[in-house]
């Protein structure tokens, strides 16, 4: 009479152990976001980072209260209630044509490069052709309600979907960056073929 009861008890215990083990596996397993995370290529300012489909060299960073462009007849009015962090870089799509996706990690904030600057003055909206270097600036509109951290990180990828693909990652020294009232965005320059 005792054996079936004992067997039943063991079965319940084994079931509980399996449930706990399954929970443990679930907790230990990396999230989908982590499994599909981009592959960072970390380089410093002035160094060329090259990934599977993108290469980039970050050259300079400037903090500005206002942006404009070089158009003498109809200058762009890049006013903001925040401030601008503008980053100068040379980028190159290494496999196929496409577009750039630049993001700034600023403290807890993640900011996509602004689409406000006129076409031709921003790397964020510049078309990329395979093997052709483009040099220019990408502008990030950031809040002005708190002091800027001393550093930020720019992440440069080819296309908006960088899952499991290369992202050139460069730490920016904001404490040492030039601060200006107005910054004039020059036109992007495409290297000769």
Partner 1 sequence: MAVDEPPVRARRDRVLAWLDRVPTLVWIGAAALVVVGVVALFGGLDDAEATVDVTELQALAVGVASGGAPTDVTVLSVSRTTAMPELWLEADPGQEFIVVEIDAVNTWDRTTVGIRSAVLLELDGELVEADRVMVSADLAAVSTLPPRVPTRMTLIWPVPVGAVGDVAPVLVTDSVFVPDPVLLDAPYWRDLGPRWVVSAPVETAPHAAQGDGSAP
Q: Where does this chain bind partner 1 (CB under 8 A)?
A: 32-33, 36, 74, 76-82, 108-112, 114-118, 140-145, 163
Helix, coil or strand: residue 65: strand
- CB of residue 72 vs partner 1: minimum separation in angstroms? 12
- CB of residue 91 vs partner 1: minimum separation in angstroms? 20
**In the chain, alpha helices (H):** 2-28, 32-35
- CB of residue 19 vs partner 1: minimum separation in angstroms? 20
Q: Which is nearer to partner 1, 1 or 146 (CB)?
A: 146
- CB of residue 74 vs partner 1: minimum separation in angstroms? 5
Q: Which is nearer to partner 1, 49 or 113 (CB)?
A: 113
Q: Which is nearer to partner 1, 19 or 35 (CB)?
A: 35
DSSP class of residue 52 equals: S
- List of E strands, 76-150: 83-93, 98-106, 109-112, 127-128, 133-142
Using CA atoms, how far residue 85 sits from 117, 134, 166, in Å, is: 13, 19, 23
Q: Which is nearer to partner 1, 25 or 108 (CB)?
A: 108
- CB of residue 68 vs partner 1: minimum separation in angstroms? 10
- CB of residue 80 vs partner 1: minimum separation in angstroms? 6
Separation CA 87–CA 143 (nearest Å): 16
Separation CA 167–CA 154 (nearest Å): 10
Q: In this structure, what token pair is assigned to residue 13? A: 């215990």
Using CA atoms, how far residue 148 sits from 50, 70, 84, 104, 142, in Å, is: 29, 28, 11, 13, 9
Q: Which is nearer to partner 1, 27 or 33 (CB)?
A: 33
Q: Which is nearer to partner 1, 115 or 176 (CB)?
A: 115
Q: 182 Cβ partners below 8 Å, 6+ apart?
A: 64, 65, 66, 67, 68
């Amino acid at each position: 009479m005792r054996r079936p009861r004992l067997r039943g008890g063991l079965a319940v215990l084994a079931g509980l152990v399996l449930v706990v083990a399954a929970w443990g596996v679930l907790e230990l397993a990396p999230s989908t976001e982590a499994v599909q995370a981009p592959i960072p290529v970390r380089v410093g300012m002035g160094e060329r980072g090259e990934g599977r489909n993108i290469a980039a060299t970050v050259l300079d960073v400037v903090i500005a209260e206002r942006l404009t462009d070089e158009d003498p007849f109809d200058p762009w009015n890049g006013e903001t209630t925040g401030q601008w962090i503008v980053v100068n870089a040379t980028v190159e799509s290494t496999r196929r044509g496409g577009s750039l996706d630049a993001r700034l990690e600023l403290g807890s904030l993640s900011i996509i490069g602004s689409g406000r600057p006129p076409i031709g003055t921003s790397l964020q909206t510049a078309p990329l052709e395979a093997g052709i270097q483009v040099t220019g600036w990408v502008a990030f509109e950031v809040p002005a309600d708190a002091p800027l951290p001393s550093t930020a990180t720019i992440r440069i990828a080819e296309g908006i979907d960088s899952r499991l693909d290369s992202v050139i990652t460069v730490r920016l020294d904001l404490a040492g960056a030039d601060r200006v009232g107005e910054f004039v965005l020059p036109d992007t320059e495409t290297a000769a073929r």
